[in-house]
Amino acid sequence: MTSLNIKGEIGMSRVGKKPIEILDGVEVKINGRMIAVKGPKGELEYKIPNTKISVDKNDKSIIVERKSESKNVRSLHGLVRSLIQNMILGVKEGYEKKLIIEGVGFRSQVKGKILELQLGFSHPINYNIPKDIEIKIGENKELIISGIDKAKVGEVAAEIREFYKPEPYKGKGIRYENERVRRKVGKAIA
């Protein structure tokens, strides 16, 4: 089902039609369906998955357009624009996620490219930190995960959180910085 506006025309993606501003210090190269973005923090590449989506570059902005009204192309239009925007912001400023470790005796430390977690199990958990990702230990058992690729930063944070999800009775576990854990009342003694 296509969305029709008041005039009866097929609606266009609101996200997809916004131009992407190229930030100062960021260099964008478009070669066919490949887009390379280079900035002060590093460089990223992305290949557009569909030939019916085109990317044009002006002096200070990028415009993503679609050449078809099929459902698949319409759904990719906004996604491609958002991914390019995330690449530009990533190489300029970078992305960061914070995880908080809660629990008595729970701790973490970084040894080279390995994150060692003590989460109350009989053995420590060793997590290999992917390249392009940096993990720092903050105050109050806080893990700060940073990198230039937004999806990779989020994926690493989710993988680490998966080792010990926050439980609802005592609140122990690994949670995101602003995550609220709904607490349950334990069994009452009669």
pLDDT value for 68: 85
Short-list 154, 21, 30, 173, CA closest to 92: 21
pLDDT 10s per residue in the chain (190 long)? Answer: 445 444 444 555 577 888 889 889 999 999 988 999 999 999 999 998 878 888 888 888 999 888 888 888 888 888 999 999 999 999 999 999 999 999 888 999 999 999 999 998 999 999 999 999 999 998 878 999 999 999 999 999 999 999 999 988 888 999 998 888 888 887 776 5
The per-residue pLDDT for 17 is: 83
Distance in angstroms (rounded) separating the CA atoms of residues 72 and 90: 27
**77-103 core/surface letters (b: 16 or more CB in 10 A; e: else):** bbebbbbbbbbbbbbbebbebbbbbbb
Residues 69 and 96: their CA atoms lie apart, in Å, by 36
**Domain 20-92 listed as CATH 3.30.1330.40:** no
> For residues 9 and 3, is the Cβ–Cβ distance under 8 A?
no
22, 24, 36, 39, 97 from 60: Cα distances, Å:
5, 9, 15, 15, 29
Stated pTM of the model? 0.83
CA-CA distance, 118 to 107, in Å (whole number)? 5
The amino acid that residue 64 corresponds to is V
pLDDT at 160: 94
User: Considering the domain 95-176 in this protein, what is its CATH number?
Assistant: 3.90.930.12
Dihedral, 126, 128, 133, 137 alpha carbons, nearest 10: 20
Domain positions in the chain are 20-92, 95-176
